[in-house]
Amino acid sequence: MSSASAISTPGCASWKSPSTPTTSNPSTTALGHPRRVPEDRLRLLLDAVTPRGLRFFGVDLAGIRLCADDLDWSLGEGDPVYGDAQDLLSVLFGRRLPRGRLHGGPEGSRVPPTLVV
pTM above 0.85, yes or no: no
Averaged pLDDT, 20-48 = 70
| The amino acid at 66 | L
Q: What is the CATH number of domain 38-117?
A: 3.30.1050.20
**What is the pLDDT confidence band of residue 46, given thresholds at 50, 70 and 90?**
very high
Question: Which is nearest to 88 in space by CA: 110, 105, 70, 62?
Answer: 70
Does residue 4 carry a pLDDT above 50?
no
The SS3 call for residue 46 is helix
Per-residue pLDDT, 77: 93
**What is the pLDDT confidence band of residue 112, given thresholds at 50, 70 and 90?**
confident
Q: Which residue has the higher pLDDT, 91 or 28?
A: 91
Helices (H) and strands (E) in the chain, counts: 4, 6
